[in-house]
Amino acid sequence: MRINKYLAECGLCSRRKADLLVQDGRVSVNKKTVREVGTDIDEQNDVVYVDGKKVVRPTHFDYIMFNKPKGCVTTVNDDNDDKSGRPELRTEDRVPADGKRPRKTVMDYLDGVKSKRLYPVGRLDYDSEGLLILTNDGDLTYKLTHPSSEIPKTYVVRIEGGIEESDLAILRKGVKVGDVKYGRCKVKVTGVEEGSTRLEVVLFEGKNREIRRMFEAVEKNVTFLKRVAIGDLRLGGLSRGSYRELNENEIAYLKGLGGVADDGERV
């Protein structure tokens, strides 16, 4: 088994992050540092360490649905990672000398399951809210986040002002912002209020701050963004900042999505 797959199955991180850990020299096998991302291990006999701590695959997986509120970071540790979609920290918000960070992470809402070492599946921006899955099942995380899976994710979006059908057509075809190409999506207007428009957007990929940048491409400002579904799994009536365990049918449904093999090819 490849080292990145093993670390993901241990619930430590995604396979991509595991590759970075290996490249940074933070992973050792049988007390010997490895730096090749393609390293294979014998999971029955080899002992793997990250930062000097032994990592072991869990014998039981946990699956949590969380309704992420606005104003917290989708990460286990707030490391000032721009990929979390936070606005740039102001001087007064930066990490003080005592090392305590001023911003909440999703883990601050998960007191009852912190000991399970769960990790977010994908991200929601700092200013976004809604459905987030957390698990220690590395294979499921890989399947749900791999671009080849093209799993639809549904969002409720509010923008300032109105929007023309011609702009909607541009968004549906996919837009390019700088060097980044955002793929096709489904988008429709669901309501018009005084000074704003409400829309439903369905994405099939998950680039950083994708929806906000898509609408910026047609000169529209997003004022509200909430993910309400991953495939047919919906957030429902779960209140902001609350979580619940997924049931067996929901877990089986998620495992049946995508169809990506270990080599990244669709199956």
Tell me the mean pLDDT in the region 232-242.
95
Q: Is the pLDDT of residue 266 over 60?
A: no
Share of the chain above pLDDT 70, in %: 87
Residue 262: what pLDDT? Answer: 44
Give the pLDDT mean for 175-188.
Answer: 90
pLDDT of residue 102: 64
pLDDT value for 101: 54
What would the two tokens of residue 237 be? Answer: 């009536």
What was the pLDDT predicted at 19?
92
> What is the topology classification, in CATH, of domain 3-55?
3.10.290
Asked if residue 48 has pLDDT above 90, the reply is yes
Strands 129-135 and 222-230, sheet pairing = parallel
Q: pTM of the full predicted structure?
A: 0.76
With beta carbons less than 8 A apart as the criterion, state whether 45 and 51 touch. Answer: no
Helix, coil or strand: residue 109: helix
Give me the catalytic one of 19, 79, 98, 125.
Answer: 125
Give catalytic status of residue 125 as yes or no: yes
Ranges in the chain annotated CATH 3.10.290.10: 3-55
Query: Do the beta carbons of residue 113 and residue 120 sit within 8 Å?
Result: no
Residue intervals in the chain for CATH 3.30.70.1560: 152-230
- Listed in sequence order, the residues at least 6 apart from 263 whose beta carbon sits closer than 8 Å to its beta carbon are none
* Distance in angstroms (rounded) separating the CA atoms of residues 257 and 260: 9
Which is more confidently placed, 266 or 44? 44
11-41 per-position pLDDT tens digit: 777 788 889 999 999 999 999 999 998 899 9
Residues of the chain with CATH 3.30.70.580: 63-87+101-148+234-255
Task: Please report the pLDDT score of residue 259 as a whole number.
Answer: 55
| 146: confidence class by pLDDT, cuts 50, 70, 90 | confident
Place of tokens 């929901």: 250
**Residue 264: DSSP 8-state:** S
pLDDT tens digits, residue range 66-114?
Answer: 999 999 999 876 654 444 444 444 433 445 444 555 688 998 998 888 7
Residue 186 contacts residue 172 (beta carbons within 8 Å):
yes
CATH code of 152-230, in short, is: 3.30.70.1560
pLDDT at 58: 77
Cα–Cα distance, 137 to 60 (Å, whole number): 9
Whether the per-residue pLDDT at 223 is higher than 90: the answer is: yes
115-119, 179-183, 236-240: least confidently modelled range? 115-119
Give the pLDDT score at 99.
Answer: 55
Type of residue numbered 48: V
Rounded CA separation 201/222 (Å): 12
Tokens for 149? 């899976």
Which pLDDT does position 92 carry in this prediction?
A: 39
Q: Tokens representing 55? A: 């990592």
β-strand pairing of 180-181 with 176-177: antiparallel
Q: Which CATH architecture has domain 63-87+101-148+234-255?
A: 2-Layer Sandwich (3.30)
Q: Which residue has the higher pLDDT, 96 or 61?
A: 61
pLDDT, mean of residues 157-178? 95
